[in-house]
Structure 1
């Protein structure tokens, strides 16, 4: 009987380690819901597994589910009060929750408030979490397909992820609303140059200079970037945008 219990405990421990590793891989691949399922499976085996609680809290934070994340960290700290990772993660989640709370309160009253939805997306944009930013910009555009800032920032987010073709598609939608926006023409030119489409990039530059002949950003782009690219027939090594 003792041998059976020891063997059973060993197999449970092995299963927990496998689930923890699987959860980490899924979380790294941004398969967040599947990662949470792994951590929940661990907690069914051992509800006092502080590592799984902490890992689950981290994934919940990436999904903006801060209240649930805080509860996970608190449960982990009840098990291991001196766990520095849990303490730090709880404080970070609480700070983020306090920032998000005013926006969430607005959205509870008015779920289609495009200003609040855009602000949520823009906060993710500022910390380079472009996929999450795009999700929120899409929410804005479902309500208002001509929301200029959402179109513009969605284009920038795609470019900064390396998808210049998709970024240009959204820049073009924004340019239909504001065809004389010099910064937008500048960013479109940069994306085109990144794809090696020098002639099209130069057309954007020329349009921008017709609107503002003295814009230093456009002059720099023409004199120091586009002409060099045209001479060498090379593309930019990485996508970039003029921000903010």
Structure 2
């Protein structure tokens, strides 16, 4: 029970007690000496106040029920929004890792980049992570009758799935060819080929080394060119830029996050 509910209940009880005491005193004052009249008046007053108390109790019970329902709705909404924020966190981390790795890889024209971590780092299952967001967002949107959050989600999932395809093409196809070529050349030169070795190299090319990798470097850089990638959204094909698409994906993520935080703040201020 919150403070406003307690105050209403106390005020109602206090008012009933005050009127009851005032009525009893008035009866004794006006009918002092007439025992039968006093008895009848007290009986009538008791009946009236009994009825008032019954109606008042029903009103307070209804008020308390509505207040309890509001608190339970708040608890449910708060839980849903909190769970959405929790589910967003690994996606947030993954998107920023993609951004960081991509920005570094864009420098491959001037630097030899051989990083095993780009290919073997632990990653989230993007499909599973996006799908896991849906139930809480769907329930919250239905409860609130507010379609903004579910509409943001419907855009976000398409952007994330497409971004995942772009990332895989860049790193697991084009960069992998470059990476394997560099490592194969190194190991063949030393007669000790070992695909399990781990590397973390980021340094300027030697002239001979770069010339042997020009085709693979070009293939990687082509991904970053304007409108170089095809995105199929709602059966409509459009050509987009890798970095622009990534930034838009992060932007939509932040809009969902900000929506949840904003509505958590509003609910807290109402219940304080």
TM-score (norm 2): 0.26
Q: Which has the higher contact order (CA 8 A, sep 6+)?
A: 2
Greater fraction of residues in strand: 2
TM-score (norm 1): 0.28
CA radius of gyration, larger in: 2
